[in-house]
């Protein structure tokens, strides 16, 4: 049953995240992703990237109810076309607020803002049980491999090994295998 408590949702650009908020966000991520505590104890995103912005839901008392971060990555195609993409990270809703459509709302806001910034595509990597969740929200599984690279030579073995993509405009997602890099 939806909780009566009001929550506020805001888009926070990275330059507005001070030390205290950074620590609060990392504490939330450590709690929601206990298996990845070693990552979130020191930073909020994967593979040396910084968020561009965070979509944050908070209760009236300031406690975090939900979180989504957007990091920029570059994808390159088999034909060496390159696109900057919005990479969705840290999708999480506090257990007491689940089932109210909050994750959908946070992801929609993150995608709207990414579209406004000018990205054509969003991507994410998730685990198999979450594929159905993201499919419900309009995300698609690529036909061909999508591989994350640490640098130009070293592929990353992803713990979340189901890549998905979302088309932010009418422009179709490129076919063929896709490499994902930190921006360069």
Ligand X SMILES: CC(C)(COP(=O)(O)OP(=O)(O)OC[C@H]1O[C@@H](n2cnc3c(N)ncnc32)[C@H](O)[C@@H]1OP(=O)(O)O)[C@@H](O)C(=O)NCCC(=O)NCCS
Binding-site member from 43, 104, 115, 181 for ligand X (CB under 6 A): 104
| Six token digits for residue 68 | 């989504």
**Residue selected from 13, 99, 145, 175 as contacting ligand X according to rule CB under 6 A:** 99
d(CA 21, CA 159): 27
Between residues 40 and 121, which has the closer beta carbon with respect to ligand X? 40
Kindly give, in sequence order, each residue whose CB lies less than 8 Å from that of residue 114, ignoring residues fewer than 6 positions away: 70, 86, 122, 168
Choice from 103, 110, 148, 180 touching ligand X (CB under 6 A): 103
Cα separation, 131 vs 137, whole angstroms: 10
Residue 130 within binding range of ligand X, rule CB under 6 A: yes
Q: Does 133 bind ligand X (CB under 6 A)?
A: yes
Q: Does 175 bind ligand X (CB under 6 A)?
A: no
Binding flag, residue 183, ligand X (CB under 6 A): no
Q: How far apart are CA 106 and CA 25, in angstroms?
A: 15
Sign of CA dihedral 11, 184, 161, 135: positive
Is residue 29 part of the contact set for ligand X (CB under 6 A)? no
Nearer to ligand X, 24 or 104 (CB): 104
Return d(Cα 37, Cα 34) in angstroms, integer.
5
Between 65 and 75, whose beta carbon lies closer to ligand X?
65
Which of 6, 38, 132, 170 contacts ligand X by CB under 6 A?
132
* Closer residue to ligand X in complex, CB, 76/105: 105
CA–CA gap between residue 75 and residue 180 (Å, rounded): 5
> How many Å apart are CA 156 and CA 145, to the nearest integer?
13
9 counts as binding ligand X under rule CB under 6 A = no
Residues that bind ligand X (CB under 6 A): 32, 91-93, 98-104, 126, 130, 132-133, 136
């Amino acid at each position: 049953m939806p909780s009566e408590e009001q929550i506020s949702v805001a888009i926070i650009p990275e330059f507005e995240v001070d030390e205290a908020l950074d620590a609060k966000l990392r504490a939330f991520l450590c709690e929601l992703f206990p298996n990845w505590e070693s990552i979130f104890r020191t930073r909020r995103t994967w593979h040396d990237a910084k968020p561009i912005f965070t979509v944050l839901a908070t209760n009236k008392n300031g406690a975090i109810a939900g979180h989504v971060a957007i990091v920029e990555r570059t994808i390159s195609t088999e034909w060496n076309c390159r696109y900057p993409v919005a990479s969705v990270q840290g999708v999480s809703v506090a257990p007491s607020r689940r089932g109210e459509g909050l994750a959908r709302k946070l992801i929609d806001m993150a995608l709207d803002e990414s579209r406004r910034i000018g990205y054509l595509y969003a991507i994410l990597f998730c685990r198999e049980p979450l594929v159905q969740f993201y499919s419900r929200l309009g995300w698609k599984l690529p036909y061909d491999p999508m591989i994350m690279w640490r640098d130009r030579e070293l592929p990353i073995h992803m713990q979340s090994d189901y890549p998905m993509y979302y088309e932010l405009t009418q422009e179709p997602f490129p076919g063929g295998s896709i490499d994902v890099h930190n921006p360069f």
